[in-house]
Amino acid sequence: MKQFKAEVMRREGYPVDPQHPDDVKYEVAESLGVPLKEGDNGDLTSEEAGKIGGAIGGSMVREMIRLAKQKLSDSQQ
């Protein structure tokens, strides 16, 4: 799953360290203007946290759907 996340976020244009793909959340947060830091982020609003998760999770879901459609198409041929 880490490799998948790294590949998806790399395609989205984020620099990703394949050994630490979860670090991309800090890059996403910075690009969205969300003050995410290591450790406790209890001061973030739900909206701010959702922006980060949505950007990462949304990209991953789109890619999973694309792969599933491709696999279905390939199996029907």
Q: What is the pTM of this model?
A: 0.68
State pLDDT tens for residues 5-38: 888 888 888 888 888 888 889 988 999 999 999 9
Distance in angstroms (rounded) separating the CA atoms of residues 37 and 46? 15
**Terminal alpha carbon distance of the chain:** 28
Looking at residue 33, what DSSP letter applies? T
Looking at residue 15, its pLDDT comes to 87
Q: Give the chain's domain count.
A: 1
Containing structural domain, residue 33: 2-75
pLDDT score of 77 more than 80 = no
Q: Do 16 and 6 touch, CB atoms closer than 8 A?
A: yes
Q: Do 9 and 16 touch, CB atoms closer than 8 A?
A: yes
The secondary element (H helix, E strand) that includes residue 58 is: helix 46-75
Distance in angstroms (rounded) separating the CA atoms of residues 10 and 6? 6
